Amino acid sequence: MLRYLRLYAAFVRFSFSKAMVFRLDFSFRIVMDLIYYAVNLAFYGVITSHSEQLAGWDSGQVRIFVSGYLLLDAIAMTLFSTNLWMFSKAVNTGELDYHLVRPVSSLFFLSLREFAANSFVNLLMAAGIMAWAIGSYSESFSAGRVILYLALILNGTLLYYVLQMLTAVPVFWTQSGMGLQGLFHQMARLMERPDGVFRGWSRKIVTIFVPFALMASFPARVLFSAEVDYGLLLHLAAVTAAFWGILLFVWARGLRAYSSASS
Amino acid sequence: MTALPTWAWRVADLEVRRLFSYRVDFWVSFVVSTGVQLLASYFLWLAVFEHTGRDTVGGYSFQALVYYSMMAPLFTRAVRGKEFGLISDEIYDGSLSRFLLYPIPMFGYKLTLHAAHVGMTSLQLLLGFAAYALTAGLPAGHTTSAGSIALGLSALLAASVLHFFLSLILEMVAFWAEGIWSLLVMLRFVTSFLGGGHIPLTLFPEQMQQAMAWLPFPYLVSFPLLCFQGEMGLADWAIGVGAIAAWSLIFGLIALRVWRKGTLQFTGVGM
């Protein structure tokens, strides 16, 4: 474990050094994410200006929900999204060979070696937006509930990683440019809707089969509820564990199908 | 000048073939993207209408908003055409030099590539429209006709030229900066939101709507879509296309200036 932490610290140091070489790009990316945050807040600002409530949430609760998925997105962008974008190239060019022979978990190395330094700055801003959204809300939350909320957002981030990786891994068989990651980013828009708007068959889809509602919306639901809904927590844990298991299985099968540089 | 149509057709033909070399990606991406958009919009607006109990929001009925929410991203995608990699990759790897030697105008060549993408995504747009009209039916009061579709598509074509110049200017920042991908993503965010790609502009606060009328963004998505839906008469269409032409001229001249400045200090060795 310590060895992995030391390795990760080295990734972070290297990423910051690299980011400082390309300073203008570093600044552009920070502004880009700020615009993304502004657009998302404005989008729900416009919606809630026409409807006092959205799926049972008032404008303050919607703002907290939005800040939740912005934070999740910032964590994902900082930790693993860049790596997953490069994954298909590593498979198609045979670069994956070099990672497989290293004495560390190949999944760990491929998923986390590029720490996005610019996104880390945005992660701090996203955290600030969340602090503002929670702080400006008309009611206060207990510290325990906020900690649980943050833990569930981290769980949502893990689920986001697993789903993104599951759409990247098919490149072992398809050898296409990006695997199915384009589809992932299109489907990820479902994360940006409160789960309360979905009902019937659509609710089953976003809470079980492509569980984007579990990433930011369920955590917000836990934060707002008077009593902790243990059924909801169990659902979150079960779906996350199931998808993690599927990823490990598919990853093992993918490595078996990998034919090195010729793929 | 007389040779222009020949090479332009050949370039467009090659680009379409290249695009269709990943035809499964192209169509699956279209179907999934449209399906997710429809799913997310339908239930979002259903929640809004059920809570407010109103018949219209921002002048739109529930059916009209769902229809708008499905069509707007298709227009946004079509107007973007070849969104990334118009010229920056060639500046970075030094291969831009060929345009300084070839007897083909760089802007014309790039515009042709862009037009090939616009053509293909417009085809998707028409298919999306037909599928929606046949399965769900058009919202009550909509006057989409062959004439309005023609007005909408011609406005879209004009808007795509405006978007081309906006993208080109940002791509040419690559003459001076090492990474411009994020600038194009910024343009995507801004044009989608302020252009009406997410929600109709009539839902925005009044003051914001007035301010946006002075910007080029509403002409990129909202205007062609309203023409397509039959909400703009011939006179409104002519005024809108005139505004697009004026904005295109402004950004075209800026692009030309940036190109001249950039090529003056382009070394051709790549970065």
* Best A51, A59, A178, A185 residue to mutate vs chain B (most B CBs within 10 Å): A51
Q: Minimal Cα distance from A36: which residue of B?
A: B189
pLDDT value at A262 more than 60: no
* Nearest-neighbour CA in chain A from B74: distance (Å): 13
Higher pLDDT, A172 or B161: B161
Q: Minimal Cα distance from A27: which residue of B?
A: B182
pLDDT value at A202 more than 90: yes
pLDDT value at B269 more than 80: no
Residues 6+ apart with CB under 8 A from A22: B178, B179
The DSSP H or E segment spanning B57 is strand B56-57
* Residue whose structure tokens are 């659902």: A235
Across the strands, what pairs with A57? A54
Query: What percentage of residues in chain A have a pLDDT greater than 70?
Result: 97
The DSSP H or E segment spanning B167 is helix B146-171
pLDDT value at A177 more than 90: no
* Residue whose structure tokens are 């194009």: B184
Band (pLDDT 50/70/90 cuts) for residue A38 is very high
User: How far lies B132's CA from each of A205, B36, B128, B262, in Å?
Assistant: 22, 14, 6, 46
Q: Which positions in chain A touch B198 (Cβ < 8 Å)?
A: 39, 43
Q: For residue B99, give the 3-state DSSP assignment.
A: helix
Cα B44 → chain centroid: 25
What's A98-156 look like in SS3?
Answer: HHHCCCCCHHHHHHHCCCCHHHHHHHHHHHHHHHHHHHCCCCCCCHHHHHHHHHHHHHH
pLDDT averaged over chain A? 91
Cα B249 → chain centroid: 17
Average pLDDT over residues A139-152: 96
pLDDT value at B101 more than 50: yes
Higher pLDDT, B127 or B18: B127
Task: Give chain B's contact residues with A (Cβ, < 8 Å).
Answer: 22, 25, 28-29, 32-33, 36-37, 39-40, 43-44, 46-48, 51-52, 57-58, 177-180, 182-183, 185-186, 189-190, 192-193, 198-199, 203-205
- For chain B, give every domain's residue range: 4-264
- Residue-wise pLDDT tens digits, B178-227: 888 999 999 999 999 999 999 999 999 999 999 999 999 999 999 999 99
Average pLDDT over residues A205-226: 95
User: Is A166 in contact with A211 (CB distance < 8 Å)?
Assistant: no
Are A25 and B182 a contacting pair at CB < 8 A?
A: yes
What size, in residues, is chain A?
263
pLDDT value at A178 more than 70: no
Band (pLDDT 50/70/90 cuts) for residue A133 is very high
Across the strands, what pairs with A54? A57
Whether A187 contacts chain B with CB within 8 A: yes
Residue B220, Cβ neighbours under 10 Å: how many?
31
User: Is B194 in contact with B215 (CB distance < 8 Å)?
Assistant: yes
- ipTM, two decimals, is 0.90
Torsion sign over Cα A228, A241, A192, A210: negative
Average pLDDT over residues B116-141: 93
Phi and psi of B56, rounded to 5°? Answer: -135, 150
pLDDT value at B1 more than 50: no
Query: CA A137 to CA B13: how far, in whole Å?
Result: 56
Residues 6+ apart with CB under 8 A from B222: B72, B195, B196, B200, B201
- Residue-wise pLDDT tens digits, A8-17: 888 888 888 8
Average pLDDT over residues B79-91: 85
- Residue-wise pLDDT tens digits, A78-116: 999 989 988 888 888 888 888 888 888 888 889 998 898
Torsion sign over Cα B155, B157, B158, B159: positive
The DSSP H or E segment spanning B61 is strand B60-61
Band (pLDDT 50/70/90 cuts) for residue B142 is confident
User: Is A63 in contact with A44 (CB distance < 8 Å)?
Assistant: yes
- Residue-wise pLDDT tens digits, B25-81: 778 888 988 999 999 999 999 999 999 999 999 999 999 999 999 999 999 999 998
Query: What percentage of residues in chain B have a pLDDT greater than 70?
Result: 97
Q: Which positions in chain A touch B22 (Cβ < 8 Å)?
A: 176-177
Q: Which positions in chain B touch A43 (Cβ < 8 Å)?
A: 193, 198-199
Which residue type, as a one-letter code, is found at position A89? K
Average pLDDT over residues B246-265: 94
Query: CA A90 to CA A254: how far, in whole Å?
Result: 13
Band (pLDDT 50/70/90 cuts) for residue B271 is low
User: Is A169 in contact with A254 (CB distance < 8 Å)?
Assistant: yes
pLDDT averaged over chain B? 91
pLDDT value at B108 more than 70: yes
